[in-house]
């Protein structure tokens, strides 16, 4: 291992970066194109590049933003300032939705608060024939969404989910998926330095974190066909509250799925087969 890489690890560790060694290796690869474990050291130009990247990460800019792309499921997304970074936890949300779509030909799917488009793109890739629409309000996130969905067949709409439901045909959707902003007021005041650099608009779910769940369970019910589904990413402590909101709005077969860390992460709500 070379001295420049060792110094980089030490710098990121001192700055409190979690997984400093992993991040250092990623930055080293970005600056040099080579693996630090097999490398003698950077050239002067590479060292200058590396030092600029190290400053940004030491200032706790998300690694994803510095790299400019990040993997989700089996594909890679463009990311950067202004859009929520795709998280491994969200993969379970997408997989839960895909399981519900099995056997359904050309399902109509909406991804609300789509951000990078990770959930909608995951559905489009693994549910052949799915007609997916990603909806996003933020102009900054929109930039990444359109780049990520280009040439994929996924449709994009720039709209506010608090009014978008009024434009949807009744019972036209087989499934609506969303990772809405869900952090509480208290959580918003205690963000990790990296998360604090992500858009508050993608994180802030109102005082109790449930503002978007109240909206989605109530206003998007009409848009889902009988027997169709609403699949929501949730915070680890929100399972009981979101299940209760769903039941209160007449959704049935409500259930929760855990992420790889063992925390509640997805809520699944079905529209009754026959609306009453």
179 binds ligand GLN (CB under 6 A): yes
For ligand GLN, the binding residue among 86, 117, 122, 181 (CB under 6 A) is 181
Residues 6+ apart with CB under 8 A from 146: 156
Burial of 240 (0-12, 13-18, 19+ CB in 10 A): exposed
User: What is the C-alpha separation between 179 and 151, in angstroms, rounded?
Assistant: 23
Q: What is the largest CA-CA distance in the chain?
A: 71
Ranges within 22-51 binding ligand GLN (CB under 6 A): none
Number of C-beta neighbours around residue 136 at 10 A: 28
The residue range among 91-99, 161-169, 180-188, 248-256 that interacts with ligand GLN, by the rule CB under 6 A, is: 180-188
Q: How far is the CB of 263 from ligand GLN (least distance, A)?
A: 10
User: What is the C-alpha separation between 262 and 57, in angstroms, rounded?
Assistant: 29
State whether residue 253 is helix, strand or coil: strand
Beta strands in 35-149 (DSSP E): 69-72, 75-78, 108-112, 131-136
Nearer to ligand GLN among residue 8 and residue 233 (C-beta) = 233
For ligand GLN, how many residues bind (rule: CB under 6 A)? 8
Q: How far is the CB of 179 from ligand GLN (least distance, A)?
A: 5
183 binds ligand GLN (CB under 6 A): yes
Burial 210-228 (b: 16+ CB within 10 A, else e): bbbbbbbbebbbbbbbeeb
70 binds ligand GLN (CB under 6 A): no
| Nearest CA-CA partner of 220 in 240, 249, 190 | 249
The residue range among 122-130, 176-184, 239-247, 252-260 that interacts with ligand GLN, by the rule CB under 6 A, is: 176-184
User: What is the C-alpha separation between 33 and 44, in angstroms, rounded?
Assistant: 14
Q: Left if phi > 0, otherwise alpha if psi is -120 to 50, otherwise beta: which for 84?
A: beta
Nearer to ligand GLN among residue 83 and residue 98 (C-beta) = 83
Ranges within 77-96 binding ligand GLN (CB under 6 A): 87
116 binds ligand GLN (CB under 6 A): no
Nearer to ligand GLN among residue 32 and residue 64 (C-beta) = 64
203 binds ligand GLN (CB under 6 A): yes
73 binds ligand GLN (CB under 6 A): no
For ligand GLN, the binding residue among 65, 110, 142, 182 (CB under 6 A) is 182
State whether residue 66 is helix, strand or coil: helix
Ranges within 208-237 binding ligand GLN (CB under 6 A): none
138 binds ligand GLN (CB under 6 A): no
Q: How far is the CB of 47 from ligand GLN (least distance, A)?
A: 33
178 binds ligand GLN (CB under 6 A): no
195 binds ligand GLN (CB under 6 A): yes
- Give the interface with ligand GLN as residue ranges (CB under 6 A): 87, 179-183, 195, 203
């Amino acid at each position: 291992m070379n001295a420049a890489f060792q110094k980089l690890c030490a710098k990121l560790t001192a700055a409190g970066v979690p997984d400093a060694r992993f991040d250092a290796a990623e930055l080293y690869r970005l600056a040099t194109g080579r693996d630090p474990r097999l490398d003698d050291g950077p050239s002067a130009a590479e060292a200058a590049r590396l030092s600029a990247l190290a400053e940004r990460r030491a200032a706790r800019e998300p690694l994803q933003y510095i790299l400019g792309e990040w993997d989700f499921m089996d594909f890679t997304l463009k990311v950067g300032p202004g859009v929520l970074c795709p998280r491994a936890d969200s993969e379970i949300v997408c997989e839960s939705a895909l399981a519900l779509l099995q056997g359904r030909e050309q399902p109509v799917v909406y991804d609300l608060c789509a951000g990078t488009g990770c959930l909608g793109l995951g559905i489009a890739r693994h549910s052949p024939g799915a007609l997916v629409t990603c909806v996003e309000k933020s102009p900054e996130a929109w930039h990444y969404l359109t780049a990520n969905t280009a040439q994929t067949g996924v449709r994009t709409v720039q709209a506010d989910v608090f009014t978008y439901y009024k434009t949807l045909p009744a019972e036209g959707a087989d499934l609506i998926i969303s990772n809405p902003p869900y952090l509480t007021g208290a959580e918003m005041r205690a963000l990790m330095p990296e998360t604090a650099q992500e858009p508050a608009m993608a994180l802030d779910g109102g005082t109790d974190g449930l503002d978007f769940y109240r909206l989605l369970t109530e206003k998007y019910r009409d848009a889902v066909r009988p027997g169709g589904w609403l699949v929501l990413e949730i915070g680890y402590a929100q399972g009981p509250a979101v299940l209760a909101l769903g039941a209160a709005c007449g959704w049935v077969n409500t259930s929760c799925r855990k992420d790889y860390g063992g925390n509640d992460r997805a809520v699944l709500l079905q529209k009754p087969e026959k609306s009453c």
